[in-house]
């Protein structure tokens, strides 16, 4: 069975977000450009046909006053309430945290480049992955408070790097990035030259190879999505004759 994943692209303009997620998810994907007002149907809709959802990074802040963010927040809460497997990456990690009752703040600095992340405990999302993960980071906001009931799954000196609440996951790092995307992101930052040079120095053969191992979480997420069963809060689909 091929998983069907709704990819919510929250990035602005021409970015490699869509191609990166479509490559790494290895699933049937339908992309919705959030900043253009697109979003998937709600799980209660007859148009719902997905096993899971992924929300990408963005150049915005989740606390920005934008109509599409407010509208997406309502949708995200409905997805979570229905128990649909969901994965937020970077901005998506912060988005779900805030939407579900957590708090996101400006760090006052950038975490940029390939970094190490320490796992905490076990979770199916990280099955088969090393205890110390390597992945690319690019963010200046962080999750300061997790939503009620959430469990921290990974941390580094900048704070929470992964969490789970119900069937909703967030990862602050970018497991979907390849070397080319990492270079593209750094080159696009308006930061002091020495700061950019330090970030470029993290793009080594060793770091890129180690980050490839972290991509396995997409396989794990796809398996979680395929195995997903409706919860009590989800409507049971009707048959063609109207019976449940």
Nearest CA to 29 out of 58, 59, 60, 56 is that of 56
Q: Is 93 a residue of the active site?
A: no
Nearest CA to 90 out of 34, 137, 51, 44 is that of 137
User: CB-based contacts of 92: which residues, under 8 Å, 6+ apart?
Assistant: 8, 10, 54, 55, 56, 57, 170
Would you tell me how many other CB atoms lie within 10 Å of the CB of residue 119?
17
Q: Is 80 a residue of the active site?
A: no
Q: Is 176 a residue of the active site?
A: yes
User: CB-based contacts of 9: which residues, under 8 Å, 6+ apart?
Assistant: 15, 17, 18, 21, 31, 32, 33, 34, 56
- Which residue of the set 90, 93, 137, 139 is catalytic? 90
Nearest CA to 29 out of 57, 58, 2, 10 is that of 2
Catalytic residue numbers read 90, 174, 176
């Amino acid at each position: 069975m091929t998983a069907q994943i709704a990819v919510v692209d929250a990035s602005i303009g021409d970015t490699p977000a869509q191609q990166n997620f479509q490559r790494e998810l290895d699933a049937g994907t339908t992309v919705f450009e959030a900043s253009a007002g697109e979003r998937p149907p709600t799980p209660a809709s007859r148009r719902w046909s997905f096993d899971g959802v992924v929300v990408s990074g963005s150049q915005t802040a989740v606390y920005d006053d934008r109509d599409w963010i407010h509208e997406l927040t309502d949708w995200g809460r409905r997805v979570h309430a229905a128990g649909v497997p969901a994965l937020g990456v970077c901005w998506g990690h912060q988005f779900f945290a805030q939407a579900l009752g957590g708090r996101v703040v400006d760090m006052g600095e950038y975490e940029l480049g390939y970094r190490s992340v320490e796992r905490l405990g076990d979770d199916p999302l990280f099955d088969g992955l090393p205890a110390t993960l390597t992945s690319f980071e690019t963010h200046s906001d962080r999750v300061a408070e997790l939503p009620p009931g959430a469990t921290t799954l990974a941390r580094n000196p900048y704070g929470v790097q992964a969490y789970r609440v119900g069937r909703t996951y967030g990862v602050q790092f970018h497991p979907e990035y390849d070397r080319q995307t990492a270079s593209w992101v750094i080159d696009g930052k308006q930061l002091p030259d020495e700061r950019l040079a330090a970030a470029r120095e993290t793009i080594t053969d060793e770091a890129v190879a180690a980050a490839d191992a972290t991509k396995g979480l997409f396989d794990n997420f796809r398996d979680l999505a395929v195995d997903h069963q409706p919860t009590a809060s989800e409507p049971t689909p009707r048959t063609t004759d109207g019976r449940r």
